[in-house]
């Protein structure tokens, strides 16, 4: 039983600290986008999307492992257990991703995917430093990656791009961007110490914790309540199942309250909001 518990703890730690929550979240965004845009999804794009986010996330966490210790000591302690194997894992994930893009996708999707991978890696190497000069650039940069996923979906399947579909993609991408942006701001709260040390001008560093929590509570409520209602009931663009995403509001508020009580799980849960989207949309398809 003790060996089983150790194995279970190892798997759980890897899932939480290894970047898998965000990577599965990206795959979930693609799956949900397929449902809302009425595009049939196959397993290969989900696998590719997972690797497309996992590789840059893992690279970032090991590249910044010393700085990360200031605000994420538990994650740093776990990642150090395989720090010497990390380069091999990153190379393997990258080659698997590129091979999968070549085998499963078309030329345009291959170029699109490679650009996302390159700019994902370049975030750690070059673009994160831009946040020293441009306010909340870090949050905008990461959120754009999530917002581009509906576009990647259409390119991947060479779906006929009509003006109506383009409008749908733009509106969905805007909603994804706003939700990702708010999540990234929230996640930066735990990194205030390390971001201050690096002189990064993130929202929490500039505004402080209390004002950041107030901003998140107000704007998350407004965005999550109004956008699905407008897109579904008023404009009649997306199916009513999108209304289920309104239930992410109490989920986020619960995460905010955990974080206010200095419970690290608040940040972990909130980083998995896009995973929650998948379950809510499925339920919505059944009951609405």
Between CA 128 and CA 120 the distance in angstroms is 11
The structure tokens listed for 85 are 């194997």
Residues 226-240 pLDDT 10s: 999 999 999 899 999
Residues 6+ apart with CB under 8 A from 164: none
Among positive and negative, which fits the CA dihedral 252, 255, 256, 257?
positive
237 phi/psi in degrees, rounded to 5: -90, -45
Residues 189-210 pLDDT 10s: 988 888 887 788 889 999 999 9
134 phi/psi in degrees, rounded to 5: -110, 120
Residues 238-272 pLDDT 10s: 999 999 999 999 999 999 999 999 998 999 999 99
Closest by CA position to 195, among listed 119, 126, 129: 129
Whole-model pTM: value is 0.94
Residues 6+ apart with CB under 8 A from 158: 106, 108
Between CA 145 and CA 28 the distance in angstroms is 14
Closest by CA position to 176, among listed 60, 32, 11: 32
Residue range 216-232: mean pLDDT, rounded: 96
pLDDT at 90 over 70: yes
Residue 38 pLDDT? 92
Sequential DSSP letters for 116-168: HHHHHHHHHHTGGGGGGTSTTHHHHHHHHHHHTHHHHHHHHTT----HHHHHH
Is the CB of residue 120 less than 8 Å from the CB of residue 58?
no
Between CA 251 and CA 239 the distance in angstroms is 22
Lowest mean pLDDT among 35-39, 161-165, 197-201, 234-238: 197-201
Q: For the chain, which residues make up each domain, given as ranges?
A: 19-287
């Amino acid at each position: 039983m003790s060996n089983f518990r150790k194995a279970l703890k190892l798997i759980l730690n890897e899932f939480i600290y290894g970047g898998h929550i965000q990577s599965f979240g990206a795959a979930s965004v693609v799956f949900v986008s397929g449902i809302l845009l009425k595009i049939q999804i196959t397993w290969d794009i989900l696998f590719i999307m997972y690797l497309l986010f996992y590789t840059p996330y893992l690279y970032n966490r090991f590249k910044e492992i010393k700085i990360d210790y200031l605000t994420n000591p538990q994650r740093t302690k776990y990642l150090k257990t395989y720090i010497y194997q990390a380069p091999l894992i990153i190379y393997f994930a990258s080659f698997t991703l590129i091979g999968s893009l070549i085998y499963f996708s078309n030329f345009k999707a291959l170029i699109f995917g490679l650009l996302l991978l390159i700019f994902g890696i370049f975030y750690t190497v070059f673009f994160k430093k831009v946040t020293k000069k441009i306010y909340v650039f870090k949050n905008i940069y990461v959120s754009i990656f999530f917002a581009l996923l509906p576009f990647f979906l259409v390119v991947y399947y060479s779906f006929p791009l009509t003006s109506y579909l383009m409008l749908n993609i733009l509106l969905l991408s805007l909603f994804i961007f706003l939700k990702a942006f708010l999540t990234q701001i929230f996640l930066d709260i735990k990194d205030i110490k390390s971001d201050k040390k690096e002189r990064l001008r993130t929202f929490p560093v500039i505004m402080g914790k209390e004002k950041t929590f107030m901003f998140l509570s107000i704007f998350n409520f407004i965005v999550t309540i109004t956008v699905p209602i407008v897109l579904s009931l008023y404009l009649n663009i997306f199916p009513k199942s999108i209304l289920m995403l309104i239930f992410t509001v109490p989920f986020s508020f619960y995460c905010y309250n955990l974080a206010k009580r200095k419970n690290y799980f608040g940040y972990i849960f909130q980083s998995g909001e896009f995973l929650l989207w998948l379950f809510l949309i499925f339920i919505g398809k059944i009951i609405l």
